[in-house]
Amino acid sequence: MREIPGRRRRILSRRNNGRPELISAALNFATAWQWPVLPGVGLRTRGADLCACPDPECTVPGAHPFDPVLLAATTDEPMVRWWWTNRPEAPIVLATGGRAPCAVSLPALAGARALAALDRRDVRLGPVVANPDRWFLLVAPYSLEQLGELLYAKDHVPGSLRFHGDGGYLALPPSVTGQGQVRWERAPLPGSAVPWLPDVEAVVDTVVEALTRTGVSAPEL
């Protein structure tokens, strides 16, 4: 009987807990979208929340680079394939900044309110990454000077607001980290080319307002 490719993909997806294989996702980010990625350090044991790095008080367990280091992030297909062939459960870490996407992140509750407010204002958004603790709004690359001028104009910037630019990173779906499952809250359009990204200025005002209204102003540990 002739095999139907779409049916096979659905079967493989179910075998992999209903989510795409990490190696396929990593290759798509690196080769189709030209987003530099590398494997995150991961967790000590599957289902645990303890980071595999030496720091017993790691605040982003599993979701950060360690070996290889952040500077090793690449779009090279053979390297990405080799990494995830050898470490198939490793989280996918995006190295932000440069020509890669940057991000603005905030706690999950405030993130939901910020997205609702941005929708009401008809602000066009790019992809949004979420884990149970934080939401990450992907934005176009920005410089430190550009970010500094933007924040200087604010009367108050909540401490729980974080910016992921040059030298930063974040975990991409469908990674599993110590914070839980990483997913798309707003997924890129299926079959689309490189996802469109808004400028950071387009989202910061609404994000700061959402944090202030939610009362989330102190840094989260």
Q: How do the domains of the chain map onto residue ranges?
A: 18-214
Q: How far apart are the C-alpha atoms of 163 and 177, rounded to whole Å?
A: 20
- 170-210 tens-digit pLDDT: 999 999 999 999 999 999 877 668 899 999 999 988 888 87
Q: Are 89 and 175 in contact (CB under 8 A)?
A: no
- Spell out the residues 6+ positions from residue 36 whose beta carbon is closer than 8 angstroms to its own: 30, 73, 74, 75, 94, 95, 98, 100
Q: How far apart are the C-alpha atoms of 25 and 188, rounded to whole Å?
A: 13
At 216 the pLDDT is: 55
- 19-46 tens-digit pLDDT: 458 999 999 999 999 999 999 999 987 6
Q: Are 97 and 167 in contact (CB under 8 A)?
A: yes
At 96 the pLDDT is: 97
Q: Are 71 and 24 in contact (CB under 8 A)?
A: no
Give the angle 124-100-169 at the CA atoms, nearest 5°: 100
Q: How far apart are the C-alpha atoms of 75 and 92, rounded to whole Å?
A: 12
Burial zone of 85 (CB within 10 Å; 0-12 exposed, 13-18 middle, 19+ buried): exposed
At 136 the pLDDT is: 97
Q: How far apart are the C-alpha atoms of 64 and 51, rounded to whole Å?
A: 9
The single residue listed with the structure tokens 């050898």 is 86
Q: What count of residues does the chain have?
A: 221
- Per the structure block, which two tokens stand in for 84? 């995830």
In this structure, which amino acid lies at residue 47? G
Q: Are 135 and 129 in contact (CB under 8 A)?
A: yes
Task: Quickly count: other Cβ atoms within 10 Å of residue 48's Cβ.
Answer: 12
- pLDDT level of residue 10 (50, 70, 90 thresholds): very low
Task: Quickly count: other Cβ atoms within 10 Å of residue 74's Cβ.
Answer: 16
Q: 94: which strand partners?
A: 37, 170
Q: What's the half-sphere exposure (Cβ side, CA atoms, 13 Å) at 217?
A: 6
Considering all CA atoms of the chain, what is the largest pairwise distance in Å, rounded to the nearest integer?
67
